[in-house]
Structure formats: C-alpha cells, structure tokens
C-alpha cells in the first residue's frame, strides 16, 4: 500500500516568495491560525492558506484546505481517521482500493489563479479569475461541485449563462478557452468537454474620425484625458490604469511604460518601453496635473486609487454619445455596446501612425508587441479602408 501519511502545512507569503511550512498546533491540541514552524520557531504570517501534504506513491502532492484554520484542522483530522481505518482494514486482510480524492472545483480554481499570480502572470490571473467566477456561478446553478462532474452539457450551460450576462460570441469563446484550460490542468478529459463554441471573426476595429469626435464630444474632463491618453499613446487598459506621474517626463515629452510589482501589475511580454508624446497630449497632461496635485496615478479614481473600471466608463460614454448599435447582445442585455471597447483605441493609435507614414517596425515597438504579425493584424482594418478608396477611383 502507498504511503498514506498526511500532514497539515501552511502555504505562506514571505519576503522570498511563497513557502510551505508545518502548521503550528498548540499544546492544547488546537491549531494556531496563521502560524508556521520555521526552523523550530513559530512565525505568524499575514497571507497564507492551508494544504494537506501527502504522497501518492513516490510523488508528493498538496491538496487545498482553505484559509480557515479550524476548518483546515478538521479536514486534516478527518483524513487521519480515514487513513487509520484503511490501515486497520489492511491489517484485517481486507482488500482496500486506493481512491484518488475528488477534486473540488472551487478549491482547484483558487489554486489555478494563485499559481498564475505566483508565476508573475498578473494579467492572466485577472483574466482567469473573471472567467472562472462566471463558470463557478454557472456550475452552482447546476449543483456541480467536482471537476469530474463537468461534461459537455455543463460547458454548454456555461455558455448559456454567459449569454444571459450579455457576453458576445467572441467573449464567450475567450472565457470558454480560459475555463477549458483550467479544467484540463485540473485533470479533466478534454474529450468530455465538447467542442469549442464558434464565433464570427471580425476585422480589427479602429475608431473612425466621426466616432472619435462623438466620443470626445460626450466626454467630461476626466474621460477626455482618458481618451487622449489611449488614442495618442496606445496604452493597454492596465498600462493606463497603473500609469503614474513618475512615468511621465513632460519636459522631454516621453511616457515610460513600467511594471509596478508592489501593486501586482507587470507589463505584458515583460518589456518596458518609452513612448514619445505629441505636443497636444503633453499640454493636456500638464493642465490635468495641475488639477490633480497629490495624486499618484494619472487616471486615479476620486479616492486616489488606480482606475480599474475604465472599460465600464467607456461603455457608458458610447451610450451617452448615442453610438450604441442597439442590436448586439451587449446592447440588448445592459445597453453596453460590443462595438466600443478600450482595445480598439490601440488599433486606432496604430492606424493613425501608419497613415502618417510611421514604419511598421516602429509601430510594433511603440505598441510593445513581441512580434510583427500582431502589429500587422492591428492594421487589417486600415488595409480594407485603403482598398475601398482604391476601388472607388476605378472607372467601371
């Protein structure tokens, strides 16, 4: 029989990263919440969770036991009782099958997100968290608790749940792929998950001059600055949210895109970049800075925190400008049109630069893309527009 010994450990955040230590049990046989035994010293941790450590054959594994100390202790004791019973059955000559513990969806999801955070995949962890939150809600509706219960019908129900929330086909596919990746990591058989949902691939969307004019016309002072930063610097959503005044050299008209590890923000592709700013944006930012003295973040909320709801503000602005199409799923569900998002500003920025004659390799560097193909995909809409203009000149 495999080694069945199980131990309760605390997985805690230290200055050197996340580490595992034996959980501290007091002389009264009760667990000390948040304490781990570090070189025979009881150390209190602020960020932690509990795990059950055991061997499966020769492989050491860790099973999530939550953040509640008493509950984790109880779970550990129950496992010890089970092990003792199995050992007694073995001694009595009874045949006992080794059974893998069933994986709980919520526990595995927490591990998956934490794993992404531990690896420094901050944007990925945010994406996973949003998709998994909706997935777990959908599974709760179907009373599905374990990974091995998820099948094709459950995944279809998840897609239906996303549609009720107003998600479009492309968003549903993206969230489905994120959840599918999680389930396969958790040990699910992809053959049981059914086919991936289809979506109609649309040409890259860059805002027209009329759309830009309408959006700016409907903006208040704050959103005017937001749109100016997005359209004249080509920042990603989180790059804009975590832009601080120290990143700006307004004398030299340079914006530096940098990671903020202490705030949980790291640049995609892990490469800092410097973006030259046009005079119009420099003037806007200087005036804005005068009105925002004492604020760390350029686009801070009223309470001085990074603005994490820029997309929602963008949706409201499109509705206020009267630009909602009224036909898409987003419009029907929440009056938040799918045609207006933040990422389209990066495509608008790229298209504007290309039409001004800026070399595509320079555009790639300004956008922070790791490969040229991604940049070329951003310019697909411009190519279509140029073809239309060329065809219009033909004498048929």
Domain segments of the chain as ranges: 6-91, 105-192, 209-390
Averaged over 195-210, what is the pLDDT? 81
Q: Which residues of 84-122 are buried (b: 16+ CB within 10 A; e: fewer)?
A: eebeeeeeeeeeeeeeeeebebebbbbbbbeebbeeebb
Which is more confident, 385 or 281?
Answer: 281
pLDDT at residue 339, rounded to an integer? 87
Residue 9 in this model has a pLDDT that exceeds 50: yes
Contacts of 198 (CB under 8 A, 6+ apart): 169, 173
Token pair for residue 392? Answer: 């219009």
pLDDT at residue 80, rounded to an integer? 86
- Give the mean pLDDT of the chain: 86
User: Is the backbone of residue 264 left (phi > 0), alpha (psi -120 to 50) or beta?
Assistant: left
Homologous superfamily assigned to 209-390: Intergrase catalytic core (1.10.443.10)
E strand or H helix at 64, and its extent?
strand 59-66
pLDDT band at 1 (very low <50, low <70, confident <90, very high): very low
pLDDT digits 0-9 by tens, 260-275: 888 878 887 667 899 9
Q: What is the pTM of this model?
A: 0.58
Query: What is the spatial distance between Cα 333 and Cα 330, in angstroms, rounded to a whole number?
Result: 5
Contacts of 142 (CB under 8 A, 6+ apart): 154, 157
Averaged over 166-185, what is the pLDDT? 89
Query: What is the spatial distance between Cα 8 and Cα 114, in angstroms, rounded to a whole number?
Result: 19
* SS3 per-residue string spanning 103-151: CEHHHHHHHHHHHHHHCCCHHHHHHHHHHHHHHHHHHHHCCCCEHHHCC
């Amino acid at each position: 029989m495999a080694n069945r010994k199980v131990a309760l450990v605390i997985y805690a955040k230290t200055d050197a990263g996340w580490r595992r230590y034996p959980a501290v049990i007091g002389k009264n046989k009760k667990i000390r919440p948040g304490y781990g035994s570090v070189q025979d010293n009881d150390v209190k941790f602020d960020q932690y969770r509990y795990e059950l450590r055991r061997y499966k054959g020769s492989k050491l594994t860790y099973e999530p036991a939550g953040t509640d100390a008493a509950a984790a202790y109880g779970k550990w004791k129950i496992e010890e009782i089970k092990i003792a019973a199995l050992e007694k059955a073995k001694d009595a000559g009874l045949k006992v099958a080794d059974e893998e513990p069933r994986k709980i969806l919520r526990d595995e999801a927490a591990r998956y997100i934490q794993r992404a955070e531990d690896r420094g995949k901050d944007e990925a962890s945010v994406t996973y968290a949003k998709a998994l939150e909706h997935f777990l809600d959908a599974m709760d509706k179907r009373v599905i608790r374990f990974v091995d219960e998820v099948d094709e019908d459950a995944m279809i129900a998840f897609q239906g749940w996303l549609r009720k929330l107003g998600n479009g086909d492309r968003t549903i596919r993206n969230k489905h792929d994120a959840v599918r990746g999680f389930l396969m990591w958790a040990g699910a058989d992809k053959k049981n998950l059914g086919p991936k949902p289809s979506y109609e691939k649309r040409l890259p969307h860059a805002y027209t001059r009329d759309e830009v004019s309408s959006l700016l016309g409907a903006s208040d002072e704050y959103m005017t600055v937001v749109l100016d930063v997005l359209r004249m610097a080509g920042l990603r959503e989180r790059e804009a949210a975590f832009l601080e005044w120290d990143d700006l050299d307004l004398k030299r008209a340079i914006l530096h895109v940098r990671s903020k590890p202490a705030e949980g923000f790291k640049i995609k592709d892990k490469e800092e970049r410097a973006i030259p700013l046009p005079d119009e944006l420099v003037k806007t930012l200087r005036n804005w800075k005068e009105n925002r003295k004492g604020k760390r973040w350029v686009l801070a909320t009223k309470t001085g925190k990074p603005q994490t709801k820029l997309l929602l503000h963008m949706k409201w602005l499109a509705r206020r400008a009267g630009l909602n199409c009224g036909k898409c799923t987003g419009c029907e569900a929440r009056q938040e049109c799918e045609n207006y998002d933040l990422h389209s500003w990066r495509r608008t920025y790229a298209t504007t630069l290309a039409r001004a004659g800026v070399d595509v390799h320079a555009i790639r560097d300004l956008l922070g893309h790791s490969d040229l193909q991604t940049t070329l995909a951003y310019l697909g809409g411009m190519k279509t527009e140029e073809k239309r203009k060329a065809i219009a000149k033909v004498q048929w």
